[in-house]
Structure 1
Amino acid sequence: MEPPHPRAPRDLHALLALYDRQVRREARPDGPGCRVEHVGGVVRATGPAHAWNGVLWSGLDGPDADVDAAVAAQIDHYRAAGLPFEWKLYGHDTPADLGDRLRAAGFVPGGPETLMAAEAAALPRGVPLPEGVELRAVTDEAGVRQVVEVHARAFGTDSAAIGRQLLDRLAADPDGIAAVVALAHGEPVSAARLELHPGTDFAGLWGGGTVEGWRGRGLYRALVSHRARIAADRGHRYVQVDAAPTSRPILRRLGFLELTTTTPYAYKV
C-alpha cells in the first residue's frame, strides 16, 4: 500500500463521513427553481429539466426500511414531474444490494467513478501553462458558450444543459459557482467549473475537459490548481472530484486520495 501523500487529509473515514453529512444529507438547492427534499429516508433534488435531478442520499438500512417501496416512491415522484433522474449510489451506501434493487426497478448504471478529495490550500499553485495559453474566468454568455464548445469537443456529448445550468447559476448565485476556460491563441481548448457549497468544508471540481490535441500538456493540472486556489480563498478546506479512470493518476500525484466509488443509476420516465 502506498504511503499517504503529504498533502492529503489523514483520516479518510472521518472525511468521508463529513462529506456524506455536509454535501449529501444536508444538501442545498444548486440553482434557481431547484429544491431539496428529505422524504422517507431519501434526500432528493428536483428542478428544471436542464438541472441535475436525482437522489443524493438514502438512509435505507434500518430494520424497518422498505427499500423497494422507497425506490418506487422516487420513480413515482419524478415520473409525475416528467423528469428523468439519477440515483447517485456510492460504494459504501447501504443496503449492500441497493444497486441490484435499482437495476431490478429499471435503472441503468453508468460507468463508476472515484470520489477523491484533497486539502485545497495544500495543492500546488501556479502550475505553468503551455506557451500561448491563458486562463479566463467565465462570467457571461459568451464564456459559457466557450465552455459548452469545449465539453462537446472533449466528451463528444451534447452539453447544452450544462450551459443552461451555468448561466442560471452565474445569474442567481455568482458566489456559488466559478468556471474557467483555457484559451490557446484565443481558441477555447479546455474548461472546468467549481461548485462551492456555502457553509460546508467542501467545494466540488466538475467538468474538467480538454480537447484532443491539447491533452497531456498540463492543462488539467492547471485547472485543478486554479480552482483549488479559489476554493481555499473562499474558505473551503477541501476540494472533491468524481474522478474518471483517466483523471485518477493525475489527481493522485497532486495529492488527492480515494474515498469511495460512485455510480450513476439513470432512470428514464
Structure 2
Amino acid sequence: MLQPFHDLEDSSIIQAIEANTCEFLLTLGRLGGGEERSDEEVQWTIGGAPIGYHNCVVRARLTAETADEAIVASARRFQAYNVPGTWHVGPSMQPEDLGTRLLAHGFSDGGEEPGMAADLLNINEQISFPAELAITRVGNEEELQVWTQTLAAGFGEGEIETNWVGAMYGKIGFDEQGAWHHYLGQLNGKPVATTSMFLAAGVAGIYFVFTLPQARRKGVGAAITLAALQDARNRGYRVGVLGASMMGYAVYQRLGFQEYCRFHLYEWE
C-alpha cells in the first residue's frame, strides 16, 4: 500500500490514479475474454466487451515515429472484433500530441474525466442523508442481480453495459478479502444507489456510483461513496481515487477529493 497521504508527492498520487484505473479496465476486459496486448509501447484489452469504454487502450509510451502505427493497429483490432473502442489518454501517455493524432485517424473526442484522490484519514464524514437509507455490501448472486438492475436504470449505456458488468462481477465472486467490493443503497427498503470499490495499486478505486433520479439531491450518492471509503480505510487503505462525472464532481469535493489529473477519452465507433 502507499505511504500516508500527506507524505505523497502529487506525481505519486497521479501514478496511483492511473494504475488503479488501468488495472480496473484490464481486469474486466480479461474476464470478458478480450485480446490483450502488453509491451513496452502499448497496453490494451479489445474484444471482451459490447461497449467502447471497456475495449480500450490504457497505456502508451510511443514516439512521433511509432504513434500512428499503434493507433492504426488498435483501430484494426476494433474492426476485427466489430466493437466500439476507446483510448483512455492519461497524463503519462506519450507523445504529447497523441490526441491530435487519434482525431486524425478517425477517432472522436469523447471528453474528459477528472482523476481525483482523497486522504481516507481526513474525509468529510459529516454529511447528511436520509435516516431511512441502508447501505449493504453485495455478498451473493441474488444481491448482485439487484445491484445490476439498479445500475441499469440509468447508468452509462443502460442494460447493455450493466448486464455485462454484472456478469463480469459474477465471475469474480464475493470474497470478503478480495479486491472487489460492491455496495447497494436502499431507501425505505427499495434499491436506489450503487457503487463498487476496486483495491489495486495500493489505493481504493471507486467506480459505478449511481443514484436513481428520484433519490437524488438527498445525499444518497455521497453516503454510499463514503461507506465504500470507510470500508477501504478499515482494511488499511489510506488513499481513495476515482474518475469523476460532471454530476458527481461537487459531491466528491465535499467528501474531500481533489483533482490531480485528467483522462481524455477518444472513441472509435
TM-score of the superposed pair, with normalisation by structure 1: 0.82
Task: Indicate the residue corresponding to 1:182 in structure 2.
Answer: 185
Which amino acid is 1:205 matched to? I
Is residue 27–residue 36 contact of structure 1 (8 Å, CA) maintained in 2? no
Task: Indicate the residue corresponding to 2:112 in structure 1.
Answer: 112
Deviation at 1:98, TM superposition (A): 1.3
Q: Would you say how many aligned residue pairs link Structure 1 and Structure 2?
A: 258
Summarize the Cα distance change of 1:213–1:28 in structure 2 as closer, same or farther, 3 Å threshold: closer
Aligned counterparts, 1:47-126, within 5 A: 48-49=48-49, 52-60=54-62, 62=63, 65-90=65-90, 93-125=93-125
Q: Percent identity?
A: 22
Which amino acid is 2:217 matched to? G
Which amino acid is 1:204 matched to? G
CA offset digits 1:152-195 (Å, max 9, x no partner): 32437222222222222226897121111111122111111111
Task: Indicate the residue corresponding to 2:45 in structure 1.
Answer: 45
Which amino acid is 1:84 matched to? P
C-alpha root-mean-square deviation of aligned residues, in Å? Answer: 3.0
Summarize the Cα distance change of 1:174–1:109 in structure 2 as closer, same or farther, 3 Å threshold: farther
Residues in 1 aligned to 2:188 and 2:24: alpha-carbon distance in whole angstroms: 43
Extract unaligned runs of 5+ from structure 1: 1-6
Residues in 1 aligned to 2:228 and 2:135: alpha-carbon distance in whole angstroms: 11
Summarize the Cα distance change of 1:180–1:232 in structure 2 as closer, same or farther, 3 Å threshold: same
Find the partner of 1:170 among 160, 168, 173: 173
Which amino acid is 1:196 matched to? L
CA offset digits 1:200-230 (Å, max 9, x no partner): 2222111111111211111111112111122
TM-score of the superposed pair, with normalisation by structure 2: 0.82
Residues in 2 aligned to 1:178 and 1:26: alpha-carbon distance in whole angstroms: 12
Task: Indicate the residue corresponding to 1:4 in structure 2.
Answer: none
SS in 2 for 1:110: strand
Summarize the Cα distance change of 1:134–1:34 in structure 2 as closer, same or farther, 3 Å threshold: same
Aligned counterparts, 1:176-255, within 5 A: 176-197=179-200, 200-255=201-256
Extract unaligned runs of 5+ from structure 2: none
CA offset digits 1:42-87 (Å, max 9, x no partner): 1112463358221111111x46x42100111222334334443221
Residues in 1 aligned to 2:198 and 2:20: alpha-carbon distance in whole angstroms: 14
Which amino acid is 2:234 matched to? D
Moved more, 156-165 or 252-261: 156-165
Task: Indicate the residue corresponding to 1:3 in structure 2.
Answer: none
